[in-house]
Amino acid sequence: MSDIFKPVTDFMQTKIPIGSWVETFIIFLRDNLETFFDTATEGIETVIDGLVDILLFIPPPLLILAFAALAWLLAGRRIALFTFIGLGLIFNLGLWIATMETLSLVTVATFISLLCGIPLGILTARNKMANNVLTPLLDFMQTMPAFVYLIPAIMLLDIGVVSATFATVIFSMPPTIRLTGLGIRQVPEELIEAAEAFGSTPRQKLFKVQLPMAMPTIMAGINQSIMLALSMVVIAAMIGAGGLGGLVLRAISRLKVGMGFESGLGVVILAIILDRITQSLGKRNKKNA
C-alpha cells in the first residue's frame, strides 16, 4: 500500500519555498530601497521624538487639564472627568513618560494609517478591480499574527520606534480602508443620482456628497484603527517601541505581576480615553449629517 503512495507523498513533501521567497523579497526591498527606508526612518523618528519632547515639556498637571478640557469639548462632562482622574492616576503611578511615548507613537502611526487608508478606501469604493485586489490583502493583513510583522520591520528599519511604527501602521490600517469604502458604498443610490443629475464632477460628488455622508462610518473605522494601533504598540515594544509596552515587557521578563498590572492599567486608561473621544466625534458627525 505505502509503496503505491510513496511517489505522491514524496512529491507532497517537497517543500514549496514560500518562506525563502518572502525572505528574498524583503532582502530585495532592503537592498534596493535603502535610501528610501533611511529617509523614512529619519523623518518618522524626528516627528515622534519631537512629539514626545513637546508632551513632556508641558508640565503634567497642565497637560492633564488640557486633555480633560479637550475631552469635555468633544465628548462631554463624564469623559472629561474620567480623563482627569485617569491621567492623574497614570501620573501618580509614575507611568507618565511611558504613556506620553506610547501616545506619540499611536498618534503618528494612526496618522500614517489614515493618510494611506482613507484614499485606499475611496479607491475601493470607486473601482471594483481595486476592491477585488485589496479585500483579500486586508483579510491577510488582519489575520496574520501581529508578531510576524515585527520581523520584516526590523530587517528593513532596524530596531527602534520607526520599525514599531511600521508594524503598527500595517496592523491598524485595514479598518480605515474597509469602513471608508463601506461608508461611501452605503450612500443611497438616489443621492448619487441627484448629484450626477445636477452635473457634479466626480470630485464634487466625492467631496460634497459621498465623503460627508460616509463620515460617521469613516469615523468608526478611524476609531478601530486607533484601538488596533494601541494594542500593536504594546506588542511592538518587543522591537524597541518603548513606552507602556516596554514596561509590560520588562514586567513579563522579571515576572513582576504588580508592575505588569500597573502598566497594563495605563494602556487601558489611554485606550478608553481615545476610544470615547473618537467615538463621540463620530456621533457628532452623525448628528450633523
Partner 1 sequence: MPKVVIDKLVKIFGDHPEKALKYLEEGKSKEEILKKTKQAVGINNVSFSVDEGETFVVMGLSGSGKSTLIRCLNRLIEPTRGKVFIDGEDITTMDKNALREVRRKKLGMVFQRFALFPHRTVLENAAYGLEIQEVDRAEREKKAQQALELVGLKGWENNMPDQLSGGMQQRVGLARALASNPDILLMDEAFSALDPLIRKEMQDELLDLQKKMNKTIIFITHDLDEALKIGDRIALMKDGRIVQIGTPEEILTSPANEYVEKFVEDVDRSKVLTASDVMKPPSPLLMLKDGPRVALRRMKENGLSSIFVVDKERTLKGVVLAEEALAAAEKGEKTLDSILLTAIPSVSSDTPVTELLPTIAESKLPVAVLDDNGKLQGIIIRGSVLAGLAGQMDKGGTADV
Pick out residues in 142-161 that bind partner 1 (CB under 8 A): none
**Is 44 one of the binding residues for partner 1 (CB under 8 A)?**
no
Least CB distance to partner 1 at residue 55 (A)? 35
Answer yes or no: are the C-beta atoms of 106 and 226 closer than 8 Å: yes
**Is 283 one of the binding residues for partner 1 (CB under 8 A)?**
no
Q: Which of 77, 78, 208, 283 binds partner 1 (CB under 8 A)?
A: 208
Q: How many residues of this chain interact with partner 1, rule: CB under 8 A?
A: 20
Between 194 and 257, whose beta carbon lies closer to partner 1?
Answer: 194
Residue 88: count of CB within 10 angstroms of its CB: 15
What nine digits make up the cell of 60?
503634567
Best CA proximity match to 227, nearest among 189, 275, 268: 275
Answer yes or no: are the C-beta atoms of 101 and 158 closer than 8 Å: no
User: For residues 192 and 121, what is the distance between their CA atoms, to the nearest angstrom?
Assistant: 18
**Is 198 one of the binding residues for partner 1 (CB under 8 A)?**
yes
**Is 177 one of the binding residues for partner 1 (CB under 8 A)?**
no
Name the segment binding partner 1 (CB under 8 A); options: 109-117, 208-216, 235-243, 248-256.
208-216
Between 76 and 202, whose beta carbon lies closer to partner 1?
Answer: 202
Sole residue written with cell 477585488: 132
213-248 b/e with 16+ CB inside 10 Å = b? Answer: bbbbbbbbbbbbbbbbbbbbbbbbbbbbbbbbbbbb
Q: Which of 60, 88, 212, 264 binds partner 1 (CB under 8 A)?
A: 212
Between 141 and 192, whose beta carbon lies closer to partner 1?
Answer: 192
Q: Which of 69, 191, 252, 268 binds partner 1 (CB under 8 A)?
A: 191
**Is 10 one of the binding residues for partner 1 (CB under 8 A)?**
no
Best CA proximity match to 183, nearest among 218, 140, 223, 135: 218
The SS3 assignment for 51 reads helix
**Is 81 one of the binding residues for partner 1 (CB under 8 A)?**
no
User: For residues 48 and 43, what is the distance between their CA atoms, to the nearest angstrom?
Assistant: 9
**Is 188 one of the binding residues for partner 1 (CB under 8 A)?**
yes
**Is 201 one of the binding residues for partner 1 (CB under 8 A)?**
yes
Binding site for partner 1 (CB under 8 A): 188, 190-191, 193-201, 204, 208-209, 212-213, 215, 288-289
